[in-house]
Amino acid sequence: MRTVSKRARWLGVGACVWGAVGCSGTAHQGLVVMRVSETEAHVGLGSGEVKPGDRLTLLRYLCTGPKKDSNCEMRPVGRGVVLKVINDDYSIARFDAPNGLHERDQVELVPPSE
């Protein structure tokens, strides 16, 4: 797993939000943009990237150490499924995340073979 500082983590999240509110690209990654309930959220993956029934991995930066020198790693914290594609940019997904669902968590499309 990759280790990054808190500053680099926030710069990365800021670049994603500033760039397209979703980090969408060939890797089919996006962000939890808005929680709808404890288990459902709008995610930054749209019609060109996902379809209903596609599986997602929920990822979150988990940090250790003192705030100034903490090391952060992106770790999987849950799984999800796309329920409905809203438009070219957004979908609604349901997640099973034991530690909760947070806005700005990242989501990644699970390849069909997994």
- 65/83 Cα distance (integer angstroms): 37
Q: What fold does the segment set 3-109 form as a domain?
A: Thrombin, subunit H (2.40.10)
Q: How confident is the model at residue 52 (pLDDT cuts 50, 70, 90)?
A: very high
Count the alpha carbons within 13 Å of 41 in the hemisphere toward its beta carbon. Answer: 26
Task: Let me know: does 107 contact 59? Beta carbons within 8 Å.
Answer: yes
Q: What percent of the chain has pLDDT over 70?
A: 75
This prediction has a pTM of: 0.71
Helices (H) and strands (E) in the chain, counts: 1, 7
Residue 3, pLDDT score: 54
